[in-house]
């Protein structure tokens, strides 16, 4: 029998990239799916690809940054499937720039999705996860350990998620809810084509060297496996594991390398 047969997985940010591939991977393993994102057409296309009959998948337009939208989505999920076993917080984006190029509003805008959108998702689903002794998987980043010049908004938001996961894994243990903190490195998705206004710029090239990129389907396989094993934290691919190890054990060396080789994120605004 498939690993997740009959379990209900709710995934935010399922209209593209990692979220869409994770949804397909869960579906292959027998899960029923609740897919959330703002772009309805793209979300419906993913849902159709997974199950054209619509029996095993429910697509719900939802902006996680708007208080109560995830709550409404969770209610619809319960009406259709009656339970929620897995919550995959994946919705997120990246706003870049040095502090002097940005303002407080920019940081707030990013936090509205990357941090408060996560809290909205958790508050909307936690009671159900407690009932099923389920799993809360948080797509964070290797940037939850490493913050480079030009990347403070995004890294701040991911550092916050790491802190949240660390506390929640202790707080939710008595309820049998597992918290899985997921730290990808560079994954080939549209994230680096989103400008600081949140607009998708399809003509922007991904400037990350292909040797550092993994595909979203490869990432999804490892993420779903970590969820199935209720792992506390995973880092993908291997260089992310090395970065986290060095940040934990040799932070001075990492700081020296960053300064010596002037490592910073490159970005368009």
Contact residues for ligand NAP, defined by CB under 6 A:
12-19, 37-39, 42, 62-65, 90-93, 113, 117, 139, 141, 184, 186-187, 189-191, 194
**Pick 42 or 131: Cβ nearer ligand NAP:** 42
End-to-end CA distance of the chain: 48
**Pick 173 or 268: Cβ nearer ligand NAP:** 268
Write down the least CB distance from residue 20 to ligand NAP, Å.
7
Q: State how far the Cα of 65 lies from the Cα of 204, in Å rounded to an integer.
A: 25
**Pick 141 or 178: Cβ nearer ligand NAP:** 141
Tokens 């209209």 map to which residue?
15
Distance, CA of 62 to chain centre: 15
Catalytically annotated residue among 5, 107, 154, 186: 154
**Pick 121 or 178: Cβ nearer ligand NAP:** 121
Q: How many residues does the structure list for the chain?
A: 269
**Pick 30 or 61: Cβ nearer ligand NAP:** 61
Q: State how far the Cα of 55 lies from the Cα of 144, in Å rounded to an integer.
A: 37
Contact 254, 248 (CB under 8 A): no
Write down the least CB distance from residue 37 to ligand NAP, Å.
4
Question: Catalytic: 154?
Answer: yes
Write down the least CB distance from residue 242 to ligand NAP, Å.
16
Known catalytic residues are 154
């Amino acid at each position: 029998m498939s690993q997740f047969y009959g379990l209900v997985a709710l995934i935010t940010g399922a209209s593209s990239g990692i979220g869409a591939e994770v949804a397909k991977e869960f579906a292959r393993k027998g899960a029923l799916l609740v897919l959330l994102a703002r772009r309805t057409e793209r979300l419906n296309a993913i849902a159709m690809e997974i199950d054209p009959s619509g029996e095993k998948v429910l697509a719900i337009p939802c902006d996680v940054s708007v208080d109560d939208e995830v709550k409404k989505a969770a209610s619809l999920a319960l009406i259709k499937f009656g339970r929620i076993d897995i919550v995959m917080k994946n919705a997120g984006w990246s706003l870049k720039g040095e502090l002097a190029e940005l303002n407080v509003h920019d940081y707030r805008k990013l936090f509205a999705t990357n941090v408060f959108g996560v809290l909205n998702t958790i508050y909307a689903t936690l009671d159900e996860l407690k009932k099923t002794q389920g799993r809360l998987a948080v797509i964070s980043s290797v940037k939850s350990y490493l913050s480079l010049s030009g990347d403070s908004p995004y890294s701040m938001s991911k550092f916050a998620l790491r802190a949240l996961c660390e506390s929640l894994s202790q707080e939710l243990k008595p309820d049998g809810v597992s918290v899985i903190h997921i730290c990808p490195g560079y994954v080939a998705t549209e994230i680096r084509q989103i400008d600081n206004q949140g607009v998708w710029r399809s003509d922007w090239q991904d400037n990350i060297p292909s040797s550092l990129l993994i595909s979203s389907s490869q990432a999804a396989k490892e993420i779903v496996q970590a969820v199935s094993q209720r792992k506390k934290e995973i880092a993908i691919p291997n260089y992310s594991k090395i970065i986290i190890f060095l940040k934990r054990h040799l932070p001075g060396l990492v700081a020296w390398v960053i300064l010596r080789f002037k490592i910073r994120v490159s970005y368009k605004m």
